[in-house]
Amino acid sequence: MSGMTKEELMKHVYLRCAECDGYITDQIIRLEGKPYHSKCFFCHGCHLELSGKSFVPPTAERPDIYCVDCHQERFAHRCVKCSQPILPAQGEDESKILVFMQKDYHAGCFKCEDCGCDLRTPGGEGKGCFPFQGALLCRPCNQARVEECTRP
């Protein structure tokens, strides 16, 4: 290898970082066979270095790496009522999403828009969900709105 330029020597000895394409001369982090500098292995949301931290690996649809918090904030289903991400409860791996009429809700946000009663159980407090003109209502509030609209 004598007679090689420094650049030629670097090509033979060091790996190139998958993020910045620079030579890695110190710690190497590998993800799916790709080498990274520790400073280049970061969340593409908050830019936190991820070496030794929990992260969500890239996919074909989402090629960037994210910390768990940024991934949830950017890609979790959002509740149509409060606009917040629907996240797993603490200690759980999966989120519980209530889907009604092709819209996602937190269980706690699935309430009657007039009286605020829980609409989740058909035989429960509000006796189920009875939509009216785009509003989620319990049976009594639905009936009250229908009556209001049909009064002369």
Q: Are 11 and 22 in contact (CB under 8 A)?
A: no
Sign of torsion over alpha carbons 143, 144, 149, 152: positive
Residue type, 106: H
105-129 pLDDT per residue, tens: 998 899 999 999 888 876 555 578 8
The string of pLDDT tens digits covering residues 1-25 is 556 666 666 666 789 999 999 999 8
Q: In whole angstroms, what is the distance from residue 143 CA to residue 152 CA?
A: 16
Is 146 strand, coil or helix?
helix
CA distance 75 to 15: 32
